[in-house]
């Protein structure tokens, strides 16, 4: 019989989030594939687990290791896949191995636990059911504009989540503030850790609060951004298109929304909100 590939979630900061099931699985498996052997050794030391076969399985090594991992699984060994923090396959290596195991009819089972994505969603204050996870925020300006242009095409209400590094978070917030300063955002730093901070409000206000906080070390820690997005629904496509045409002709947001309200079944507040967002998106 083939072995089992366990996809194991590990703490994103607070080791107290470790479950007994994680401890048991890491003890029983024959092999542990990890993003960084040094980080995983610290975790195993905390769990008082020793003498485990550890192999590096990061973005550079993933494809090289897949064949050997599948062969060992087919040989009856159990393997645990872990990342440095959080859940493998969610902006961390692992998805290709999981797919390969499925294709070979090898049992794959999740060992759920901490996740920055689930954590930011739970504290976002978002009223709705749709969530879009976009991984790390694009680095290049052209890619940023493309991502937000695609976002404009989404209909209905949803929460859009990105991860961000401490080195780029200020520039990212500045970009978002220029693009849609009045939209709500939930910003989180160091989730589950000692210096955890969570901000909520309009992007412009959150950005200002972050920059003016004398005690905040912006260049440290891991960050999550959750944008509260509300697009135009299918019924509103006609009036929204009319609004875009008016503004493309140079008519102000106030006047364009007023004209739309005269001819379509839409509230002044809704029309003006879209007009403002369209104006802000012209970078």
Q: Where are the domains of the chain?
A: 4-114, 117-230, 234-280
Give the integer Cα–Cα distance in Å for 138 and 135.
9
Structure tokens at 8: 């194991």
Output the pLDDT for position 207: 92
> 42-46, 81-85, 182-186: lowest mean pLDDT where?
182-186
Give the integer Cα–Cα distance in Å for 61 and 46.
26
Give which of 66, 58, 57, 71 is closest to 3, Cα–Cα.
71
Tell me the average pLDDT across 245-265.
87
Give the integer Cα–Cα distance in Å for 181 and 185.
10
Give the integer Cα–Cα distance in Å for 141 and 27.
46
Output the pLDDT for position 282: 52
Q: Look at 235 and 29; give whichever has higher pLDDT.
A: 29
Tell me the average pLDDT across 217-233.
82
Tell me the average pLDDT across 182-194.
92
pTM for this prediction: 0.78
Output the pLDDT for position 35: 92
Give the integer Cα–Cα distance in Å for 178 and 91.
27
Tell me the average pLDDT across 161-176.
92
**Which phi and psi angles does 158 have, rounded to 5°?**
-160, 160
C-beta of residue 135 within 8 angstroms of C-beta of residue 268: no
Give which of 228, 227, 233, 226 is closest to 153, Cα–Cα.
233
Tell me the average pLDDT across 44-51.
93
Tell me the average pLDDT across 249-276.
84
Residue with tokens 């045409």: 245
The architecture CATH gives domain 117-230: 2-Layer Sandwich (3.30)
Using pLDDT thresholds of 50, 70 and 90, give the confidence band for residue 203: very high
CATH class of 4-114: alpha beta
Report whether pLDDT(283) > 50: no
Output the pLDDT for position 212: 85
C-beta of residue 271 within 8 angstroms of C-beta of residue 260: yes
């Amino acid at each position: 019989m083939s072995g089992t590939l366990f996809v194991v979630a590990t703490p994103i900061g607070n080791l107290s989030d470790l479950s007994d099931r994680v401890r048991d699985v890491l003890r029983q498996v024959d092999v542990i594939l990890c993003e960084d052997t040094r980080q995983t050794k610290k975790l195993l030391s905390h769990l008082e687990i020793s003498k485990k076969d550890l192999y590096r399985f990061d973005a550079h090594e993933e494809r090289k290791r897949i064949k050997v991992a599948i062969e060992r699984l087919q040989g009856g060994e159990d393997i645990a896949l872990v990342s440095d923090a959080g859940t493998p396959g969610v902006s961390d290596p692992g998805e290709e191995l999981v797919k390969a195991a499925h294709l070979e009819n090898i049992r794959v089972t999740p060992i759920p636990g901490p996740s920055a994505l689930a954590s930011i969603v739970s504290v976002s204050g978002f009223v709705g059911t749709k969530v879009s996870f976009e991984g790390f925020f694009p680095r290049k300006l052209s890619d940023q504009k493309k991502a937000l242009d695609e976002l404009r095409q989404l209909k209905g209400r949803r929460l859009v989540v990105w991860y961000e590094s401490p080195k780029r978070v200020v520039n990212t917030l500045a970009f978002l503030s220029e693009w849609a300063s009045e939209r709500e955002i939930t910003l989180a730093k160091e989730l589950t850790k000692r210096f955890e901070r969570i901000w909520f409000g309009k992007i412009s206000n959150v950005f200002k609060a972050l920059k003016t906080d004398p005690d905040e070390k912006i260049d440290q820690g891991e960050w999550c951004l959750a944008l509260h997005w509300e697009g135009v629904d299918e019924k509103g496509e006609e009036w929204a298109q009319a609004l875009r045409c008016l503004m493309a002709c140079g008519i102000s947001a106030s006047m364009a929304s007023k004209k739309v309200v005269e001819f379509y079944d839409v509230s002044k507040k809704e029309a003006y909100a879209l007009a403002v967002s369209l104006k802000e998106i012209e970078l």
